[in-house]
Amino acid sequence: MSVRVRRVYDPPEPEDGVRVLVDRLWPRGLAKDAARVDEWPKAITPSTELRRWYHAGEGSYEEFAERYEAELAAEEAAEALDGVRELLRTGDVTLLTASKTPQESHATVLARLL
């Protein structure tokens, strides 16, 4: 089973498997039926504070990843992450983000942890 990271704005592909939105906010301008999102576990998204800190350019991606991993250790986030791991046991999972640079986003951190 594999984990992919894609932009939510990209059209769905058959090899996506279960499509999991990993952003806290719904992507702007995207209709829910067009996104074809199967799961939206908000508990595994970065906190508003961490997201704002990172987007303000106050730290490096590596520091962001460390802080985000610490957030994922909290009970609610850890349980939600285990839920995504369960999905992965049954087939492919695609993590969806609105980030313009998915390779330097929280979705990549999640993919690595899965």
Closest CA to 50 of 66, 70, 64: 64
Number of domains within the chain: 1
Q: What is the pLDDT of residues 22-63, one digit of tens each?
A: 999 999 999 988 899 999 999 999 999 999 999 888 889 999
Which residues, at least 6 apart from 112, have a Cβ–Cβ distance to it below 8 Å? none
Which range of residues forms the domain containing residue 80? 3-113
Residue-level length of the chain:
114
Residues 33 and 27: their CA atoms lie apart, in Å, by 12
pLDDT given for residue 58 in this prediction: 81
What is this structure's pTM?
A: 0.92
Please check whether residue 79 is in contact with residue 44, taking contact to mean a CB–CB distance below 8 angstroms: no
